[in-house]
């Protein structure tokens, strides 16, 4: 039982750190949000992959943040 508690303790600490790690992706999130907003505005043309470049930058940032969280790095 105690080994299971140790595992959950590590998981909880990683989950607590995750929002802080994602906070570094603010610029990428803002760029993606601006692209989606512009494409859905009146006269905009929302279509598949319209904001793919911005989304990929955001996804890459999130992946790097998640990797740091899983590795327990700063």
Q: For 12-69, write each residue's pLDDT tens digit.
A: 877 787 788 778 999 999 999 999 999 888 887 878 899 999 999 999 998 998 887 6
Secondary structure class of 39 (helix, strand, coil): helix
Residue 25 tokens, joined: 């992706």
With b for 16 or more beta-carbon neighbours within 10 A and e for fewer, the 2-23 pattern comes to eeeeeeeeeeeebeebeeebee
Secondary structure class of 7 (helix, strand, coil): helix
Task: Please give the tally of structural domains in the chain.
Answer: 1
Please say if the pLDDT value at position 73 is more than 70.
no
Host domain of residue 53: 3-72
């Amino acid at each position: 039982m105690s080994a299971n508690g140790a595992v959950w303790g590590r998981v909880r600490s990683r989950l607590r750190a995750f929002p802080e790690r994602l906070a570094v992706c603010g610029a990428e999130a803002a760029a993606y949000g601006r692209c989606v907003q512009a494409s859905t505005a009146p006269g905009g043309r929302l279509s598949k992959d319209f904001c793919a470049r911005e989304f990929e930058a955001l996804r890459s940032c999130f992946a790097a943040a998640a990797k740091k969280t899983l590795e327990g790095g700063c």
